[in-house]
Amino acid sequence: MSQSLNVAICQINPTLGNFQKNIDNISSNYRKAVEKGANLVIFPEMSITGYPPQDLLNNQNFINENIVSLEKFSRNVTVPCIVGFVDFDNDKRFNAAAICQDGKIISKYHKIHLPNYDVFDERRYFENGNSVGIFDLNINEKNHKIALQICEDLWEDEYDRKISDEIINHNPDLIVNISASPFAKDRKNDRMKLIQTNYGNANCPFVYCNLVGGQDELIFDGFSMVFNSDLQLIDMANGFEEEILFTDLTSKSSLKNISSDEQLFKALSLGIKDYFKKTGHEQAVIGLSGGIDSALVACLAVDALGSNNVTLISMPSRFSSDHSKIDAKKLAENLNSSYKTINIDNLFQTYLDVMSDHFEGYPSNVAEENIQSRIRGNLLMAFSNKLGSLVLSTGNKTELALGYCTLYGDMSGGLSAIGDLNKSEVYNLSKWINKDSEIIPQNIIDKEPSAELAPNQVDPFDYELISPIVDKIIFGSDQKNVNEEFLNLKKKVNINEHKRRQAAPVLRVSKKAFGIGRRIPIVNHFHE
């Protein structure tokens, strides 16, 4: 029966809480799909609301408006459509999917498995559904048994209830999963393996429809997929962009390959683009040091926003090397972005003069170094206030982990673009950017990293050595047989939690980022 289905998978980018815009987008995609002959149209998890709504779900008006919006949309539906929303029944909230047909909502499904780990806390808001989603749909005078699930229902390994077994026992003609699954390295392959492993005996096609777009720290990558009755992948939507994927569930398309570096670049670019667009910003300002981190952020910002919307500011001091100033200017020229130079040495000297009596008798140390960083942070924020632009902070994950960053200095900003990339990943992605032509001056990639806050200063770490160790600490990997260096690094990570708590939101591209998915007390005397 499934062979008579022409399915449209609508991979859309909703804006959280903008119900009118979301309904307009859903309606537009639905009409396009039907006009091209689709007889089943599918939208992602929580398409009506955007995802994740978090504590907006405690506002009854939010719930009500989402339901009214769904009902409004359903009145114009002819051929069957599946769309994600928030259901409210008997004073309980459900992460739900509605099946609409012939001008009304004909069925609903409530998500059974509610994720409550990492960035997910759905049990805080939702009740579990009870019944497996099996629905009979009459399409073109033929009956089709559709199995419907929502995102985490697929990720069933950590749950006692195996939804896959229940679905397979019903012998469906088609299985549909609607998701809001955020991007992380290898996550696309993880989804594919789960589908093929859990439903290898289903003997029917499988359609996976995923959300796309940025929401605060999260980036939804799309990559919606179609599997035939043998569970072979036969089609996949593009990543990181809206798309309607049409399929008859049998024909195989040429699958596009996208490298991990390209995925990472596109994810971060989309995260920046949507953060700016959805918060009402257009212009970005970035402090350009001549180092690798700020260079990468500048490249990402230009890709996301366009060169005309990015201002790069060099703020050299007495300790800034000539090559850093040259490299910064060259990068700005390569990116065709506005470039300004503000020498901070007079400001720095004024601080030293003002504090001289108070610092008398104390050796020069990190206090003087951080004054320079904070001067730069203040100048960037002045540009932000005057021009209405948003500052992008430039610290990487390794630096944030070890506290090698300055509160109210280089940590200043409205968004941390690369705060989930370790230092090694920063270098790798920068090299990928230069794969066709030199965008980032090679000297920036080759030279020894330095904050240039003191004479002849270089970063006190071998990043190739410590980056993977720090990642193990953050991910909570096997920590048996650890050495003294590991323990010292772990201590540094723990004692700098107060800095990260005050950092800008970090775009999440790994399976464990700093931010909402990692909640460690600031006051913490526990040692393993």
Q: What is the DSSP string of 463-484?
A: HHHHHHHHHHHHHT---TT--H
Pairing relationship of beta strands 225-227 and 212-215 according to DSSP bridges = unpaired
User: pLDDT band at 452, cuts 50/70/90?
Assistant: confident
Q: Is residue 60 part of a domain?
A: yes
pLDDT, position 480 = 66
Q: 146 with 135: CB under 8 angstroms?
A: yes
Helix (H, G, I), strand (E, B) or coil at 141: coil
- Residue 459: which pLDDT band, with cuts at 50, 70 and 90? confident
Asked if 270 and 244 sit in the same domain, the reply is no
What mean pLDDT comes out for the span 22-47? 98
C-alpha 4/C-alpha 142 separation (Å) is: 9
pLDDT attached to residue 478: 61
Q: Is residue 121 pLDDT above 90, yes or no? A: yes
CA–CA distance, 16 with 126 (Å, rounded to integer): 18
Alpha-carbon distance 366 to 371, whole Å? 8
Tell me what pLDDT residue 475 has.
Answer: 86
C-beta of residue 86 within 8 angstroms of C-beta of residue 56: no
Residues 246 and 269 placed together within one structural domain of the fold:
no
Residue linked to tokens 């330095």: 450
Same domain, residue pair 343 and 474: yes
Instruction: Report whether the peptide linkage leading into residue 52 is cis, meaning its omega lies within 30 degrees of zero.
Output: yes
Q: Are residues 34 and 120 in the same domain?
A: yes
Distance of CA 31 to the CA centre of its chain: 29
Q: Is 111 a catalytic residue?
A: yes
> Do residues 130 and 110 touch, judged by C-beta distance below 8 A?
yes
Average pLDDT, the chain: 95
* Residue from 10, 45, 81, 423 carrying the catalytic annotation: 45
161 found inside a domain: yes
How long a stretch of residues is the chain?
528
CA angle (300 as vertex; 297, 219 as ends), nearest 5: 105
Using the predicted structure, report yes or no on whether residue 456 has a pLDDT greater than 90.
no
Q: Which of 206, 226, 251 is the last residue of a domain?
A: 251
Annotated catalytic residue within 10, 108, 111, 490: 111
Looking at the 3D structure of the chain, how many domains does it have?
2
- Cα 23 to its chain centre, rounded Å, is 23
Q: Do 354 and 208 have their domain in common?
A: no
What's the longest Cα–Cα distance across the chain?
90
- Alpha helices per DSSP H over 395-449: 397-402, 423-433, 442-446
Q: What is the pLDDT of residue 410?
A: 93
3-state DSSP assignment of residue 21: helix
- The identity of residue 476, as a single letter, is G
Question: pLDDT band at 148, cuts 50/70/90?
Answer: very high
* Closest by CA position to 256, among listed 297, 291, 212, 223: 223
Residue 521 resides in a domain: no
Q: How confident is the model at residue 319 (pLDDT cuts 50, 70, 90)?
A: very high
Does some domain include residue 173?
A: yes
> Is it the case that residue 63 has pLDDT exceeding 60?
yes
Q: Is residue 200 part of a domain?
A: yes
Beta bridge partner(s), residue 222: 239
What is the DSSP secondary structure assignment for residue 413, as one 8-state letter?
S
293 and 442 in a common domain: yes
Sign of the four-CA dihedral 108, 208, 182, 196 = positive
In a domain, 508, yes or no: no
Q: Do 223 and 277 belong to one domain? A: no
pLDDT of residue 481: 65
Confirm if 127 and 147 have CB atoms less than 8 A apart: no
**Position 479 confidence tier, pLDDT thresholds 50, 70, 90:** low
For residue 3, pLDDT beyond 60: no
Question: Are both 293 and 423 inside the same structural domain?
Answer: yes
Q: Same structural domain for residues 11 and 133? A: yes
CATH code of the domain covering residue 394: 3.40.50.620
pLDDT in tens, 257-281: 899 999 999 999 999 999 999 999 9
CA distances from 355 to 348, 349, 350, 358, 452 (A): 11, 10, 9, 5, 21
pLDDT digits (tens, 9 = 90+) for 208-240: 999 999 999 999 999 999 999 999 999 999 999
Residue 158 predicted with pLDDT over 90: no
> Is residue 528, in this structure, part of any structural domain at all?
no
State whether 113 and 228 are in the same domain.
yes
> Does the active-site annotation cover 209?
no
CATH number at 58 reads 3.60.110.10
- Rounded-to-5 percentages of helix, strand, coil across the chain: 40, 20, 40
Q: Which of 10, 100, 151, 204 is catalytic?
A: 151
Predicted local confidence at residue 1, as pLDDT:
44
Work out the pLDDT band at 528, boundaries 50, 70, 90: low
Query: How confident is the model over 325-346, as a mean pLDDT?
Result: 97
Give the rounded percent of residues in the chain with a pLDDT score beyond 90: 86
Boundary (domain end) residue, out of 200, 219, 251: 251
Last residue of a domain, one of 251, 280, 308: 251
Residue 88 vs residues 57, 121, 127: alpha-carbon distances, Å: 11, 18, 10
Q: Which residues of 219-246 are buried (b: 16+ CB within 10 A; e: fewer)?
A: bbbbbbbbbbbebebbbbbbbbeebbbb
pLDDT of residue 477: 67
**DSSP track, 357-379:** HHHTTSPP-HHHHHHHHHHHHHH
The CA distance from 415 to 403, in Å, is 18
Check if 243 is active-site.
no
Cβ(399)–Cβ(423) below 8 Å: yes
Among residues 520, 512, 509, which one has the least CA distance to residue 218? 509
Spatial distance between the Cα atoms of 28 and 9, rounded to a whole number of angstroms? 13
Span 68-86, average pLDDT:
97
Looking at residue 49, its amino acid is T
Q: Could you tell me if 411 and 436 are in contact, meaning their C-beta atoms sit under 8 angstroms apart?
A: no
Predicted confidence (pLDDT) per residue in 90-113, tens digit = 999 999 999 999 999 999 999 999
Please tell me the number of Cα atoms within 13 Å of 516 on its side-chain side.
13
Domain that residue 164 falls in: 2-251
> What are 324's strand-pairing partners?
none
Q: Are residues 122 and 26 in the same domain?
A: yes
Please check whether residues 208 and 319 belong to one and the same domain: no
Number of helices (H), then strands (E), belonging to the chain: the values are 15, 19
The DSSP secondary-structure symbol of 434 reads T
User: Residue 466 domain-assigned?
Assistant: yes
Instruction: Quick: pLDDT tens for 505-514.
Output: 999 999 999 9
